[in-house]
Amino acid sequence: MSLTQYSSGISAVVGMELRQRLRSRGWYIMLAIWFALIWLVTALTWISWKAQSGYDFDPGFGRVGPGPLIFEAVLAFVLLFGLLVAPAFSANAISGDRSAGTLAIMQVTLLRPGQLLWGKFLASWIAALAFLVVSVPFLVFGIAQGGLGVGYIVVGLLMLACELGVVCALGVGISALANRPLFSIVVTYLTVAALTFGTLIAFGLGMMLSNGTVEANQSYYKNMEMYQGPEGPDAEYLDGDIYPAPPKPKDITDENNEYACYGPLVEQPAPHSERVAWMLGMNPFVVVADAIPYPDRNTPAQANYTSGMFEMISQSARYVQAGPEATYQCANGKVAPQYLSKEAPLWPLGLGLQLLVTAGVLALCWRALRTPAGKLPKGTRVA
């Protein structure tokens, strides 16, 4: 079979699936509800920013305008509820046809298992992407408020599309392996929960088992010099002998504006988070947050800018991936960086592991769709 013939079979399955969805009135109702919810999130975020700016309060971004706050709020909402909506389009794709007795009719045609599998997957992915397209105007609105570049929305949309594709592929694969639609839906949602929450639990448990040591010396905080003597308006209530300033050490190995590292290196207990960082990397929120191109905060122009929610998630993942050798205070006599650059991102590893698991599930799905089946589970409806 040529590539053109193979792709035409996939297109036929995709067209049939999409026509069935477009005939349903509930499809348009769900899109309208989705649009209204995102509009509500955007409006509440805007009102919240206006209220905070009226009190001269920094909501945590340090930038002018509500753009970053709106962008991250909409992005988090779309990712969270996208992970809940996507299984609804895929978890019943094959098990529903098997339950209705229409799967066997498709299997006795010239369609091959791979064509049926890819067609079901692409149809469910396109249906999920429709919800992502509805959210694009609100993401663009956040970008238009200033403080962000076009790269934010481009990378954000691409990573959201990838995560929706992973969930849809898992749902289609599980629906082919399950005999009952309800069972496939429940297992798909449990799989999504395992990626979202199970990875955090597994990472936390893994950290408890990753104890080790790191060589580090002592820290000397320079701001302790403020206690050298009674000064200022409250000087009459202070005693200069109560808070003596420690002498500045001479054997300093490294320092910054906040503290200095000095003394001999001594083994200190520290968890080696880099050993279990791959568990955290599989989390969909970590994958999306770590892929967004944030500006380098180590530059003087960005030094005073605080981070948003997704940037904090990205930095947390970078610290976990770097381990104590790069993040422990005065490890190897060096000052720990306050902001880690994006030279070694974690998201390619996390997305690669997600795709590896998805490929394994789809391989089992392809095997389950082969005909003749040989042996069917008890109670399976053929036609």
Nearest alpha carbon to residue 13 among 118, 139, 105: 118
pTM recorded for the entire structure: 0.82
Query: Would you state the structure tokens that stand for residue 150, as one six-digit string?
Result: 């076009």
Cα(293)–Cα(77) distance, rounded to whole angstroms?
20
Cα(164)–Cα(172) distance, rounded to whole angstroms?
12
Q: How far apart are the first and last CA of the chain?
A: 27
Residue 271's beta-bridge partner residues? Answer: 211
Cα(217)–Cα(261) distance, rounded to whole angstroms?
6
Alpha-carbon torsion 130, 87, 32, 283, what sign? negative
Residue 217, φ and ψ in degrees, nearest 5:
-110, -170
Q: At what angle do helices 113-144 and 150-177 cross, to 10 degrees?
A: 150
Cα(149)–Cα(137) distance, rounded to whole angstroms?
15
Cα(71)–Cα(49) distance, rounded to whole angstroms?
12
Residues in the chain: 383
Residue 220, φ and ψ in degrees, nearest 5:
-120, 115
Q: Which pLDDT score, from 0 to 100, does residue 164 have?
A: 93
pLDDT tens, per residue, the chain with 383 residues: 677 878 888 888 888 888 887 877 877 888 889 899 999 988 888 888 777 765 544 444 444 567 778 888 888 889 998 898 888 888 888 888 777 777 777 777 778 888 888 989 999 999 889 989 998 888 888 878 766 777 788 888 999 999 999 999 999 999 888 878 888 899 999 999 999 999 999 999 998 888 888 888 888 887 665 544 455 555 555 454 455 557 778 888 888 878 888 888 888 888 888 889 899 999 999 999 988 887 766 554 554 455 678 888 888 888 888 888 888 888 888 888 877 776 678 899 999 999 999 999 999 888 887 766 666 666 555 54
Cα(219)–Cα(63) distance, rounded to whole angstroms?
33
Residue 219, φ and ψ in degrees, nearest 5:
-115, 140
H/E/C letters for each residue in 41-52?
HHHHHHHHHHHH
Residue 264, φ and ψ in degrees, nearest 5:
-75, 155
Q: 2: helix, coil or strand?
A: coil
Task: List, as one string, the DSSP characters of 73-103.
Answer: HHHHHHHHHHHHHHHHHHTTTTHHHHHHT-H
Q: Which pLDDT score, from 0 to 100, does residue 353 have?
A: 93
Q: Which pLDDT score, from 0 to 100, does residue 59 have?
A: 45
Whether 163 and 155 have beta carbons less than 8 Å apart is answered as no
Whether 87 and 167 have beta carbons less than 8 Å apart is answered as yes
Amino acid letter for position 58: D
- Establish how many alpha carbons lie within 13 A of residue 115's alpha carbon, considering only the half-sphere containing its beta carbon: 22
Q: Which pLDDT score, from 0 to 100, does residue 223 have?
A: 66
Cα(306)–Cα(315) distance, rounded to whole angstroms?
12
Query: Would you state the structure tokens that stand for residue 245, as one six-digit string?
Result: 């300033």
Query: Would you state the structure tokens that stand for residue 308, as one six-digit string?
Result: 């948003």
Residue 269 per-residue DSSP state:
E
Q: 212: helix, coil or strand?
A: strand
